[in-house]
Chain A
Amino acid sequence: MNDHLDQLLRDSLRAEAANAPHTHVDVDALAARGAAHRHAKLARVAGSVACLGVVFAGASLAMRSGPDAADQIVAPAATSGTYAEATVERAAESVVAGAQPDDLAVMAAPAGPSNSADNPNPMFDAATPAVPPAVSEHTGPAACSTSIPGEQVFAFDGTVVAFEYDDHGTRRVVFDVHEWFTAPADNPAVVGGVDGVQLGDRMLVTADSTDGKLACAAVVAYDPMTVEVWRTLGG
């Protein structure tokens, strides 16, 4: 019976395997997914390292504000392009290049401060380094205009569900928000100044707002550890 059962199993499974679905998968798409997979993983690592940087560097680093401090901290991550660009891929590159945790901490940190004394979002109340003017100057229409007094800053966990383009061709990313770490706002959230994301990407986003519209953002790949930090800071 044993030999026969063995043979039965071999024959049966061979016949069953012939019923497996046959399809053609676009190899280029697979390669692209592979690249995205690598980037996402590196970004997750960067996010985790950034969180550790936030935790261990302590308030003395993360709570610093002002142009001088911000220049010093942010510049390594944003020497060119927009602040948003200095996020997922740049974070990944920085990890590969051996960037210091202190550098990465800023990339995962919220984008901009609120100068308002009655800011309802304690997460950003003097807890976040300001985006230096040199960065904002490169950001075009989706620039982080965090120097405007009284702006509100938001942070959320969301998935990219669509892209929108305004009359000027400026792209905005539509996020389905899973959780607001700051005061809740509209869902879906439409955010400008986000690069390097694809449909379905789950990101942690910080954004400032102008006239009620989320105008500029810093994003990091979703990471539970970062969520915990942001959730705590967001109070």
Chain B
Amino acid sequence: MSAAGVEALYREHYNQAVRLAWLITGDHDAAHDIATDAFVSVTSHLLRIRDADKFWAYLRRAVSRRAIDVGRSNSRRATREQRVWHTGNRGVDTADTTAADLAHVAAAVRGLPPKQRAIVILRYWADLSERDIARTLGIPAGTVKSGLSRALDHLREELQ
């Protein structure tokens, strides 16, 4: 693949990859590392990718899986979870959502286990179907369904 080709892919997808990694890990440095590694990995396999239009799907898959691994091993996760719990059940006003409310929701999402967090993010940020989430994460569709259900239950409880 030519440098121009890589650059075009980079300009189109790299920031999205960083955002996805950032949402899953909550870690700026890790987000860049994950996005870069995933980008390099996917571009270096482009010769084997028959449909270059699916580059984002490949990149999203690589980023998601790496980010989940990082999320699991990230010691700061405990701190984040603790922070969520210490915010208390302040609730979210359903009629008038403020920036603080959105931040509270985001904090609650960060408190989810990494895989559930990734499922929620792929569902509500990347707008993927449960089937596509299953493909992206390499897990059964049933696991996605149950994971999403548990995550939403937890979030409802957290946000009430």
Report the minimum CB–CB distance from B158 to chain A (whole Å).
Answer: 11
Interface residue? B10 (CB, 8 A) = yes
Name A's interface SS. Answer: helix
Of the stretches B18-26, B68-76, B80-88, B137-145, the one at the interface is B18-26
Interface residue? B57 (CB, 8 A) = no
**Residues 58-105 of A at the B interface (beta carbon under 8 Å):** none
Given contacts A27-B6, A34-B43, contact A19 B22 (CB under 8 A): yes
Residues of A within 8 A of B3 (CB): 27-28, 31
Flag if A21 contacts B125 (CB, 8 Å): no
Smallest CB gap from A1: residue in B: B156
Flag if B39 contacts A30 (CB, 8 Å): yes
Flag if A15 contacts B102 (CB, 8 Å): yes
Residues of A within 8 A of B78 (CB): none
A-contact 0/1 string along B69-110, CB 8 Å cutoff: 000000000000000000000001010010101110110010
**Residues 91-135 of B at the A interface (beta carbon under 8 Å):** 92, 94, 97, 99, 101-103, 105-106, 109, 120-121, 124-125
- Bound together, the chains give a CA A28 to CA B121 distance in angstroms of 31
- Bound together, the chains give a CA A144 to CA B36 distance in angstroms of 38
- Bound together, the chains give a CA A30 to CA B156 distance in angstroms of 42
**Residues 1-38 of A at the B interface (beta carbon under 8 Å):** 1-2, 4-6, 8-17, 19-23, 25, 27-28, 30-31, 33-35, 37-38
List the count of A-B residue pairs having beta carbons below 8 Å apart. 99
Flag if B6 contacts A12 (CB, 8 Å): no
Flag if A27 contacts B121 (CB, 8 Å): no
Residues of A within 8 A of B31 (CB): 20-21
Name B's interface SS. Answer: helix
Residues of A within 8 A of B105 (CB): 8-9, 12
Smallest CB gap from B99: residue in A: A15
Please report the total number of B residues contacting A with Cβ < 8 Å. Answer: 38
User: Which interface residue of A10, A13, A38 has the most chain B CB atoms within 10 A?
Assistant: A13
The bracket for how many chain A residues form the interface is 20 to 34
Given contacts A5-B152, A37-B44, contact A15 B106 (CB under 8 A): yes
Flag if A34 contacts B6 (CB, 8 Å): yes
Residues of A within 8 A of B109 (CB): 9, 12-13, 16
Flag if A11 contacts B15 (CB, 8 Å): no
Flag if A11 contacts B102 (CB, 8 Å): yes
User: Which interface residue of A12, A25, A30 has the most chain B CB atoms within 10 A?
Assistant: A12
Report the minimum CB–CB distance from A45 to chain B (whole Å).
Answer: 14
Flag if B10 contacts A27 (CB, 8 Å): yes
Report the minimum CB–CB distance from A32 to chain B (whole Å).
Answer: 9
Contact of A34 among B14, B32, B40, B94 (CB under 8 A): B40
Residues of A within 8 A of B19 (CB): 17, 20
Residues of B within 8 A of A30 (CB): 6, 10, 36, 39-40, 43
Residues of B within 8 A of A41 (CB): 44
Smallest CB gap from A33: residue in B: B40
| 9 interchain pairs, CB-CB under 8 A | A9-B120, A9-B124, A17-B23, A20-B19, A27-B3, A31-B3, A34-B43, A37-B40, A38-B44
Q: Which 8 A-B pairs have the closest CB atoms?
A: A12-B105, A20-B22, A13-B125, A9-B124, A34-B44, A20-B19, A17-B19, A12-B102
